[in-house]
Chains A and B, each alone.
Chain A
Amino acid sequence: MDKQAQKNFSRDLRQNEFSDKQLAIVAHPLLRQAFAEIQAEAQEGSAGSSFGEGGP
């Protein structure tokens, strides 16, 4: 495995490879909020909307 394969710019937390306990050690509120939203997204099985017409 080369270095590029070992490191990534992003990581898909929807794969549930990380437990709540692991993520809970992150202190920043905006990151905790993001993790919670991604977990909710994974549970909903929703890919969310992606409109772009100035939609709310």
Chain B
Amino acid sequence: MATNLLLVAGIVFVGLALAGSIAWYGRLSVIPAYLVLGILIGPAGPTVGGVSLSLVRPGEFIDLFAELGIVFLLFFIGVEFSVATLAAKPRRLLRAGGVDLVVNVALGVVLGLAFGFTLFESLFIAGIVYPSSSAVITKSLVDLGWIADPESEAIMGVLVTEDIVMAVYIAVLAGIAIGGAPEALLYHLGQAGVLLIALALLATVGRESLARVLDISSDELFLLRIVGITVFLGGAALSVGVSEAVAAFFVGAAVSETRHKDRIERVLAPARDLFAAVFFFAIGLGTDPRAVFDAGTLLVAAIGLGIVGKSLSGYLGGRAYDLAPRRSIRMALAMITRGEFSLVVAAVAATASGRLAAEIPAFAVGYVLIMSILGTILMRYSASFERRLTG
């Protein structure tokens, strides 16, 4: 067990660098690699040949970095949230996104109820089962060259609809999870409502003032200003019971329609990558592998339903988007990948109490581990599915 904080940080980053490289060479997503690293060198780490791998405990440094990871992940989802994409083919997108939402949320809720969870807990399970991973899928689309084909437009469009649904979803779930008692809950929801309206105003009428604040030639000051605004508003949101993730999403959406969009991508992406890596690591760190195995039957059922649900909604969504059957099959396979959003929901669940905190995060980790790897591989072998299914 390392004693000084810097050494702990060093161990974490060396580990992340190694895990990331292994995933890179295996042409897989880095997210499962970071999760596994967290499990291996965390408190529940195994002992190999008499030497315990357990080197790192959750602590303030990791907690803060992980929090910043959530903030910047959601900030970037906001930045990449494209009104133009939603507006380009609204009717087709509404159908494709609608099928995706209805099928997968319904399956998630039914799954939770069938395993004896309350409706509220089942909504968390739905929040983990429903969203596909924008980060992993987008990278695969570029790697496989699908990015230039019509299905990528449909896939990314549906991912954007998921982003907006999840922003609202997390706002509500986190509000209730943090809120606690009914009378306090009402008070919190009031505060949350005020803050959300303020953020929505920032994203609409305040956009130009925000853009002016960022008019600065030095990249360094630009970085500090945007980080300052985002983290401050995230923290302020948290103190009134609004999810910091949702606040960050709104700030990102506010700046995405300004002239600074490309610069933000360029200047802030490294900060996001750094903090997000620690976030995924921290989720793994807080996971006891035994808890993942305890969630075994739920996990197997969720994986089965997760594959069936997304294949179905992806295929139907593709057809609703006027894609040819072969391209709709690609969409079905692509949408299976889950990732960052499911883990953000898990992080929210971990702040609650009871079964929510005890069982759901471990379930989410197991689910994302399997689904992120499986989805990437299925996309890679999509050609043989296309041949077999379309003749």
Judge: A and B partners, yes or no.
no
